Amino acid sequence: MKKFAPVLAAVMVMASALSSPLGSVSAEGSYSMNVKVDIGGSTKEISPYIYGVNQYTTQDTLKNVTTHSIRQGGNRMTAYNWETNASNAGSDWQHSSDTNLSTSEDPADCVQDLSKIAEKNNIDYKLTTLQLAGYVSADKNGPVSEAEAAPSKRWNKVVLTKGSAFADTPDLTDGVVYMDEYVNYIINKLGDSKSKTGMQAYSLDNEPVLWNHTHSRIHPNPVSIEELRDKSVEMAKAVKKLDPNAEIFGPALYGYTAYDHLADDDSSNEWETLKAQNGYHWYLDCYLDQMKQASDEAGVRLLDVLDIHYYSESVKSGKPDDILQSVRTLYEKGFKEDSWIGMWCQENIPILPTIQNSIDKYYPGTKLAITEYDFGGNNLCGAIAQAEALGCYADAEVYYATLWGGNPYQLSAINLYTNYDGKGGSFGNELVPAKTDDVSLSSSYAAINNGDKSEITVMVTNKDQEKSEKALISLDNSDKEYKAAAVYAIYGDSADIKLLDVNYNVKNNKVEVELPSLATAMVVVSDDASDFKDLKPFDPDSVQKKVVTINNPSVNKNGFVEIPIEDPEHLKEIKLTANVTSSAGSGWATAGCAVSINAKDKNGTGFWTSKSYTLGLGTGQTATIAFDGTFKNDEEDVEGVIADGKVELQQWWSASEKQEADIDDVISADYTKIEVVYEYTSNVSSVRGDVNADGTFSIADIIMMQKWLICAGNITDIKAGDLSEDGSINVFDLSIMKQELAAK
């Protein structure tokens, strides 16, 4: 909004700042970390499907990440009616049955949409969800009251196997939805699991242990071990009969408690009885054993992939160190995270090896999937945790993993493995042994591609929040002589992957890499230095940022926080800090929000769009909304800009502990700080004060500086304007410019 543009002092108060993206790159005070890579050691095949995402996450996920797998799942899918595309939010939002997943009347539109999305984004592996809870939405008429719980006209009954001929078009009048008919419809419409457009796998619903909480209108009682077994077996048999090559994922357990004893409410002592009778260690043993027995009886494997969800408990504190160390619970024996899992569940730490032991004992050959996970951190800590998680998954031989959500830092960490150079450069497909001195300070994983040891990729992190790290990477037991290395990294003040360094002087198969604090890097080492001949490391002087800070923003007449956007063309991101409260005193809550935008495309045509984000309960909650010059318009990405110089922060939905219990609860987000970040690419001049980079210092430079300070123009060479050499552009630099030009 131009009304405040002339007020230079206000702009200064709002902190127009210039900062170096290198962070603490100085070697002073740094420490050294030895990274040992055993090129001659035994290798492990890395599944490409661990670099996956969920479909129903953030709006911009797929266009910002290179991925090989995608899952269509989550709470919305449990009551999805494939015949009409109606679905129900459950306790996430007023038990609303509506058009959230699709407005189409075409049967199975959601899975058809998944197929199109995967084809558009070159995603190989598609996983969709089948409904087992008993009922699905019969209409799209909004909230379902407790009095309308199933069975009622608001719901259609789910029957897993029809037992008669399938219809080409589903019957919308019988009040029943057949799940095997759904699979048959998918195959006829898109092809089977071997086809490019078909579904490679089917999930046996979503988080069944939480049905009585999330979907109490259709499943008010806790799921029993017997019910879950019987439904899983019947559905798996039906799928295998129709598509023998399709993989079955189950049981999509929500977290550690479910792995251990399935449900908290076991008044019948069902679990304790089965545990005692069979000597099971935890519930996963029981599920695997039951599916193995049923498979043997059926003469066909009914469970291909054991499916779990994992949301780190320790990261709920929001403390950077808890995020940085969170992945260790999955792989490190003796590690004790700061949570109830770390306090009470050490017998099953590390978690992934314990799960693998259950698989090996009760159903050998079953693969492992983590179809929802999140280690938190919309910052550099989050990038480090995400990168370490992917390396951990590779080492534990996880088959399939799909991130839930996905902030810019997490997505960049995936790209570090799948597209680190923006040209398809990726981590290898065979893991080789790698280790660091201390995983609390640095983690590392290394790989080769198809047995070719001429190029090695080494992922290495620096978890120190203040100091840089000298990582000495030793490439041992190799018959190759490595000559050069390129270092791609996430560090500094953005989630972008940047080429940090190119080292043409690798000797004795040792690579020295200096990593800034809180950095995640992919080090690509080659025996041919010419591989990197055209690479130029990122120049921090070529890209600069200006941050406009608004403290304690007020709401506008619409009741929303309005953010002025002075330079839409160069808008990089909006960083939000808020205090999220619950009026009913919930122990957990989520506010679903969006940046609402009036945009216009390159032809000048206006349209409305938005960018979604979520905030958890607590003080100082943060979110980062990235902008890359494109916006969603009718589900297509188009080039555009913000049209009217402002955006609004709107809250669209909420979920909380009390809402799940049908208690009125207002979840409110009170924004305390907003940072609007603009990014500029500039030429670099050798002339002091020459901000327009024309080779001379003149009055034109002062005019450009004045306009830039009031967000009314751009600077060609920002570094030339920092005359006070304090790392920022401000009125003091402008004053010095005027004095020096007058003297000149």
Q: Please provide the size of the chain in residues.
A: 744
Whether 347 is catalytic:
no
| C-alpha separations of 417 from 61, 388, 535, 572 in Å | 16, 11, 19, 23
- In the block, residue with structure tokens 């290495």: 460
Count of C-beta atoms within a 10 Å radius of residue 303: 26
What whole-number distance in Å separates Cα of residue 308 and Cα of residue 310? 7
3-class DSSP state of 291: helix
Kindly compute the dihedral angle of the four CA atoms of residues 325, 326, 330, 331, in this order, to the nearest 10 degrees: -10
CB atoms within 10 A of CB 724: 13
3-state secondary structure 652-663: EEEEEHHHHCCC
Q: Name every residue whose Cβ is closer than 8 Å to that of residue 87 and which is 6 or more positions away in sequence.
A: 76, 77, 79, 80, 81, 97, 98, 100, 101, 136, 137
Other CB atoms within a 10 A radius of the CB of residue 739 amount to 11
Compute the distance between CA of residue 688 and CA of residue 722 in angstroms, rounded to an integer. Answer: 9
**What is the DSSP secondary structure assignment for residue 157, as one 8-state letter?**
E
Contact status, residue 199 vs residue 126, Cβ threshold 8 Å: yes
Residue 734: partners with Cβ closer than 8 Å, 6 or more residues away? 702, 705, 706, 709
The closest alpha carbon to 364, from 304, 427, 314, 413, belongs to: 304
d(CA 351, CA 348): 6
Coil, helix or strand at residue 257: helix
Q: Are 513 and 501 in contact (CB under 8 A)?
A: yes
What count of Cα atoms within 13 Å lies in the side-chain half-sphere of residue 219?
27
Name the CA dihedral angle for 206, 208, 214, 218, rounded to a multiple of 10 degrees.
100
Give the active site residue among 28, 45, 105, 207.
207
Give the integer Cα–Cα distance in Å for 611 and 628: 12
Catalytic positions, written as ranges: 207
